[in-house]
């Protein structure tokens, strides 16, 4: 490690003592991350989100992370067809909670930075400094067409996002009455008050997969959110270390987060059966087959690996699946922490119904393992 003190976001530095942060991913979207036909699938409606946020806050969960989604994927259930907009969603949940951080997932190309900066500051004041920004550049042309917006070439997406985040950070900073003159934005006499809550800036996260996305995170973000697979955890260790070292070489501290789907039951057989019931036997295959081409996987029934490929899309299509007993789940999360990850955004089939058992059985194991603080003092 170098002797230079890397810049670290003040809120991230003082967040809490949980070495592995845990949060919920995608509860703002119908079906969450399970591409299933079951009528009891997650509705993603406001009352469910409110119930989840309150329960998560009481339970000691660290954050909530929404998916920025504008249009359903189609299929019988129109997977993600109903999705609450994430800054307004975060604002409502911040008003109803006390401790957890709530992120907004914001498409830079679709929000004017002056509007977004002010909306996010409003959320931040409602939450007394608990709003976080997850910035995304967009990838789904169908969603952009709905806005009459063009999905730029990959490199240009990040050039645009760079200006966007520079403008937002400038507005969140001390200066006022400044001009911002870039390639994409020409903003004159910018004056935005109030500033974020308490004289510190929200944490900024970026979800990406490419070298451009990673470089963007290293330059601008406090956390990088990236999908990984359990079978590649060993490679992930090197990758995570490299990401952190690269950021450090730029004088910045970047934490790395990943995603998972969790099915936790008293026995392995029950957990496996529950997963199979929800996501295999009752999968919405028509939605899965609408999603696959968007992720570069043609629906090719002659491919000998077709069934396996298709199956991976029934539970969120990024991140990994953990199904097992509380010991299995806690053990896997320990391995994830050991690989260098600072947090996991995960999903349950039914976030509210599945949280109490997880809180009762898995959280104490993580506390005993030393990767989470005892909840009374966290």
For residue 103, give the H/E element and its range. strand 101-107
Minimum Å gap between C-beta 268 and ligand FMN is 27
Determine the Cα–Cα distance for residues 215 and 213; give it in Å rounded to an integer. Answer: 5
Nearer to ligand FMN, 69 or 130 (CB): 69
Nearer to ligand FMN, 153 or 179 (CB): 153
* Residues in Cβ contact with 308 at an 8 Å cutoff, skipping those fewer than 6 apart: none
Minimum Å gap between C-beta 42 and ligand FMN is 16
Determine the Cα–Cα distance for residues 135 and 225; give it in Å rounded to an integer. Answer: 10
Closest CA to 21 of 363, 263, 295: 363
Determine the Cα–Cα distance for residues 328 and 310; give it in Å rounded to an integer. Answer: 25
Determine the Cα–Cα distance for residues 363 and 125; give it in Å rounded to an integer. Answer: 30
Q: What is the CA radius of gyration of the chain?
A: 20
Closest CA to 34 of 354, 374, 377: 354
Nearer to ligand FMN, 212 or 272 (CB): 212
For residue 64, give the H/E element and its range. strand 63-65
Nearer to ligand FMN, 225 or 313 (CB): 225
Nearer to ligand FMN, 212 or 361 (CB): 212
Nearer to ligand FMN, 138 or 196 (CB): 138
To the nearest 10°, report the CA torsion of 101, 105, 108, 109: -160
- Report CA-CA distances (Å) from 136 to 31, 111, 192, 363: 21, 11, 23, 30
Contact 256, 224 (CB under 8 A): yes
Instruction: Point out which residues pair with 260 in neighbouring strands.
Output: 320, 346
Minimum Å gap between C-beta 319 and ligand FMN is 7
Nearer to ligand FMN, 31 or 325 (CB): 31
SS3 252: strand
Minimum Å gap between C-beta 296 and ligand FMN is 11
- Residues that bind ligand FMN in the complex, under the rule CB under 6 A: 67-68, 105, 136-139, 207-210, 212-213, 225-227, 259, 318
Minimum Å gap between C-beta 217 and ligand FMN is 9
Minimum Å gap between C-beta 209 and ligand FMN is 4
Minimum Å gap between C-beta 336 and ligand FMN is 14
Which residue, judged by CB position, is nearest to ligand FMN in the bound state?
213
Minimum Å gap between C-beta 140 and ligand FMN is 6
Nearer to ligand FMN, 215 or 373 (CB): 215
CB atoms within 10 A of CB 112: 12
């Amino acid at each position: 490690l170098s002797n230079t003190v890397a810049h670290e976001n003040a809120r991230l530095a003082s967040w809490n003592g949980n070495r592995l942060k845990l949060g919920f991913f995608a509860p703002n979207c119908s079906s969450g991350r399970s591409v299933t036909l079951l009528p009891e699938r997650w509705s993603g409606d406001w009352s469910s989100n409110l119930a989840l946020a309150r329960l998560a806050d009481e339970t000691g969960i660290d954050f909530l992370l929404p998916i920025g989604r504008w249009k359903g994927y189609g299929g019988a259930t129109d997977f993600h067809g109903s999705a609450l907009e994430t800054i307004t969603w975060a604002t409502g949940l911040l008003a109803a909670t006390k401790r957890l951080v709530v992120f907004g997932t914001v498409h830079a190309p679709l929000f004017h930075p002056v509007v977004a900066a002010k909306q996010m500051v409003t959320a931040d004041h409602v939450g007394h400094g608990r709003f976080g920004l997850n910035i995304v550049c967009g990838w789904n042309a169908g969603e952009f067409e709905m806005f009459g917006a063009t999905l730029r070439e990959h490199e240009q997406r990040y050039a645009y996002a760079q200006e966007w985040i520079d403008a937002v950070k400038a507005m969140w900073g001390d200066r006022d009455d400044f001009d911002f003159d870039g390639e994409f934005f020409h903003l004159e006499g910018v004056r935005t008050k109030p500033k974020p809550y308490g004289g510190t800036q929200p944490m900024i996260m970026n979800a990406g997969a490419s070298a451009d996305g990673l470089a963007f995170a290293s330059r601008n973000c406090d956390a990088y959110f990236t999908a990984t697979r359990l079978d590649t955890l060993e490679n992930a260790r090197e990758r995570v270390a490299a990401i952190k070292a690269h950021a450090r070489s730029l004088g910045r501290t970047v934490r790395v987060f990943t995603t998972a789907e969790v099915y936790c039951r008293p026995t392995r057989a029950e957990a496996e059966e529950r997963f199979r019931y929800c996501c295999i036997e009752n999968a919405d295959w028509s939605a899965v087959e609408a999603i696959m081409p968007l992720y570069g996987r043609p629906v090719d029934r002659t491919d000998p690996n077709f069934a396996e490929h298709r199956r991976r899309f029934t539970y969120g299509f990024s991140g990994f699946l953990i199904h097992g007993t509380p010991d299995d789940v806690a053990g896997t999360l320990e391995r994830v922490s050991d690989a260098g990850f600072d947090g996991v955004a995960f999903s349950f089939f039914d976030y509210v119904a599945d949280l109490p058992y997880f809180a009762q059985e898995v959280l104490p194991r993580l506390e005993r393992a030393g990767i989470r603080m005892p909840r009374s003092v966290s």
